[in-house]
Amino acid sequence: MRAISLHPDVIVVTSRLLQTNCTILRGPVAPERSLGEDVSPALAETFVVDSPILPDELGLLPSLLEQARFPEPRGLLATHADWDHLLARFPFPDATLGCAESSAARLHAKPGAAQRELRAFDDELYIVREAPLALGAVQALAVPGGCGIEEAELELYPAEGHTADGMAVWVPWARVLAVGDYLSSVEIPTISAPEGIGAYLDTLERLRSLLARAEHVVPGHGPTIDGSSALAVLAEDDAYLRSLRQRGSGAELPVGRRSRAQRELHAANVAILTGADR
What is the per-residue DSSP string for 170-188?
EETTTTEEEEESSS-SSS-
Query: What is the chain's alpha carbon radius of gyration, rounded to the nearest angstrom?
Result: 18
Quote the CA–CA distance of 266 and 248 in Å, as a whole number.
9
Quote the CA–CA distance of 215 and 92 in Å, as a whole number.
29
pLDDT digit string, tens, across residues 100-140: 999 999 999 999 999 999 999 999 999 999 999 999 889 99
- The pLDDT, as a whole number, for residue 162 is 96
Quote the CA–CA distance of 272 and 17 in Å, as a whole number.
25
- The pLDDT, as a whole number, for residue 1 is 86
Domains and their CATH numbers in the chain: 2-274 (3.60.15.10)
Nearest to 31 by CA among 113, 147, 152: 152
For the chain, where are the alpha helices, taking DSSP H only?
A: 31-34, 55-67, 101-109, 113-125, 196-211, 227-247, 260-274
Nearest to 11 by CA among 54, 53, 59, 66: 66
Quote the CA–CA distance of 179 and 155 in Å, as a whole number.
12
DSSP-derived 3-state class of residue 252 = coil
DSSP-derived 3-state class of residue 42 = helix
* DSSP state for residue 155 in the 8-state scheme: E
Quote the CA–CA distance of 253 and 237 in Å, as a whole number.
9
- The pLDDT, as a whole number, for residue 275 is 83
Question: Tens digit of pLDDT per residue, the chain (278 long)?
Answer: 899 999 999 999 999 999 999 999 999 865 444 434 455 555 579 999 999 999 999 999 999 999 999 999 989 999 999 999 999 999 999 999 999 999 999 999 999 999 999 999 999 999 999 999 999 889 999 999 999 998 899 999 999 999 999 999 999 999 999 999 999 999 999 999 999 999 999 999 999 999 999 999 999 999 999 999 999 999 999 999 999 999 999 999 999 999 999 999 999 999 999 887 65
- The pLDDT, as a whole number, for residue 137 is 85
- The pLDDT, as a whole number, for residue 43 is 57
- The pLDDT, as a whole number, for residue 278 is 59
* DSSP state for residue 72 in the 8-state scheme: P
pLDDT digit string, tens, across residues 262-272: 999 999 999 99
